């Protein structure tokens, strides 16, 4: 079973590419952003807590996020593979993922990093905001999210590099071409 981390800034295309990979390989997809938005929609306690952070463009605390991830993962059951989208976002989360998979006699197969310049990300997210209905897709929150990404999440690139698992991928141009680049890496894992 493959455990694939799809990594990149907000708006880098993690969700779009994950859907294509699910279709092609039959993998299951864990998007922590989608999980949190589901909780908000259902008005749960967790959703209320999460909303306060998301609306400011901040990250949900690690301890909470790590619990959510483990619960979501264990609910998946047997499958060809899992795509982790939006997790890990901090070094403690990456360490927790490693430990969680270890305990289940498994490991991250590879980390695929979608690289997109900031100006392009801002443009994509502002455009997405026109139809996504997402409260965090507005210019002010987008800038906060990018700052959080550069400060707290991007150091993970080096972390996975040291683990020998990082694969950098050009994340702009034609969606199908980006997908082909990802598939090439996945097929070799």
Q: Which residues form the catalytic set? A: 14, 89, 128, 134, 145
Closest listed residue to residue 100, CA positions, set 122, 82, 121, 118:
82
Nearer to ligand ATP, 19 or 163 (CB): 19
Helix (H) or strand (E) holding 135: none
Among ligand ATP, Mg ion, none, residue 53 binds (CB under 5-8 Å by kind)? ligand ATP
Instruction: Name the residues that contact ligand ATP, by CB under 6 A.
Output: 8, 10-12, 14-15, 32-33, 36, 53-54, 57-60, 65, 86-87, 89, 93, 136, 145
Closest listed residue to residue 17, CA positions, set 146, 189, 180:
180
Residue 87 C-beta: closest distance to ligand ATP, Å: 4
| Paired sense of beta strands 110-115 and 2-8, if any | parallel
Residue 141 C-beta: closest distance to ligand ATP, Å: 8
Residue 138 C-beta: closest distance to ligand ATP, Å: 12
Nearer to ligand ATP, 12 or 78 (CB): 12
Residue 14 C-beta: closest distance to Mg ion, Å: 5
CB 1 within 8 A of CB 55: no
Closest listed residue to residue 82, CA positions, set 60, 62, 104:
104
What does the alpha-carbon distance between residue 56 and residue 72 come to, in Å, rounded to a whole number? 24
Nearest residue to ligand ATP by CB is 33
Among Mg ion, ligand ATP, none, residue 59 binds (CB under 5-8 Å by kind)? ligand ATP
What does the alpha-carbon distance between residue 189 and residue 1 come to, in Å, rounded to a whole number? 11
15 is an interface residue for Mg ion by CB under 5 A: yes
């Amino acid at each position: 079973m493959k455990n694939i981390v799809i990594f990149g800034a907000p708006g880098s295309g993690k969700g779009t590419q994950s859907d294509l990979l699910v279709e092609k390989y039959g993998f299951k997809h864990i998007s922590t952003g989608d999980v949190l938005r589901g909780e908000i929609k259902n008005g749960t306690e967790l959703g209320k807590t999460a909303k306060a952070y998301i609306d400011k463009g901040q990250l949900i605390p690690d301890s909470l996020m790590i619990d959510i991830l483990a619960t979501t993962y264990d609910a998946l059951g047997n499958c060809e593979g899992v795509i982790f989208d939006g997790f890990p976002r901090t070094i403690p989360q990456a360490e927790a993922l490693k430990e969680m998979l270890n305990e289940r006699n498994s490991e991250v197969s590879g980390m695929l990093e979608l690289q997109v310049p900031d100006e392009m990300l801002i443009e994509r997210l502002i455009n997405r905001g026109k139809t996504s209905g997402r409260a965090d897709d507005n210019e002010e929150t987008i800038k906060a999210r990018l700052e959080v990404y550069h400060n707290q999440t991007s150091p993970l690139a080096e972390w996975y590099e040291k683990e020998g698992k990082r694969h950098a991928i050009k994340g702009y141009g034609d969606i199908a071409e980006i997908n082909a680049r990802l598939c090439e890496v996945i097929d070799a894992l």
